[in-house]
Amino acid sequence: AAVVLPFGAELAALPAEEFVERVLVDGLGVAHVAVGEDFHFGRGRGGDVALLQRLGERHGFDVGIIRPARDRTGTISSSRVRAALQAGDVRTAAALLGRWWSVRGIVAGGAGRGTGLGFPTANLTLLPGQDPKHGIYAARVRCEAALIEAVAYLGTRPTFDGGATLLEVFLFDFNKKIY
């Protein structure tokens, strides 16, 4: 089972000890907690692994420390994946992830300029944090059960409006309405 706690002001304001008591002990009744060796929690990152272990002893749960995964150049982390994507190095990002980076989204209607030029695109707005280097990428799109080869442009549209970053995807040999 997975428990997802919405991270908002109330949760962010909980001091480390109160987080353990209210969320882990009273709320979830944990018997074991597994964390990374650089784990921090609670208001202002006030709690660390050592504090969690002491609180675990007090409240009757075990704490397991997970060593970071490493490759030949260092620790594999989300920061390294984001840095590789922001540099446009999709091969390194894929090696770190163990799969190609992917994005999900809902296709939104655009101005129809691509259709007018004979290259209709599926337009997606990326979520915060999904910000690889702007450019043109080879892509594969899963639409229903099909996997379709495509080309994707990620960036702003300086010729038209220069506004928000947009992902525009042209699917090869595809002519279905997907809005």
Nearest residue to 139 via CA among 131, 148, 127: 148
Mean pLDDT for 162-173 is: 82
Mean pLDDT for 62-90 is: 94
pLDDT at 104 (0 to 100): 79
For the chain, give the percent of residues with pLDDT over 90: 58
pLDDT at 155 (0 to 100): 86
Which pLDDT tens digit goes with each residue over 91-104? 999 999 999 998 87
Which pLDDT tens digit goes with each residue over 122-141? 888 777 777 789 999 999 98
pLDDT at 35 (0 to 100): 96
How many beta carbons lie within 10 A of that of residue 121, not counting itself?
22
pLDDT over 90 at 143, yes or no: no
For 29-68, b/e burial (b = at least 16 CB within 10 A) is: ebeebebeeebebbeeeebbbebbbebbeeeebebeeeee
> Residue 82 burial (CB < 10 Å; 0-12/13-18/19+)?
middle
**25 pLDDT tier (thresholds 50, 70, 90):** very high
**113 pLDDT tier (thresholds 50, 70, 90):** low
Which pLDDT tens digit goes with each residue over 31-50? 999 999 999 999 999 999 99
pLDDT at 136 (0 to 100): 93
Please name the residue that has the structure tokens 């960036």: 155
d(CA 99, CA 112): 33
Q: What is the mean pLDDT of the chain?
A: 88
pLDDT at 120 (0 to 100): 74
Mean pLDDT for 113-119 is: 65
pLDDT at 142 (0 to 100): 86
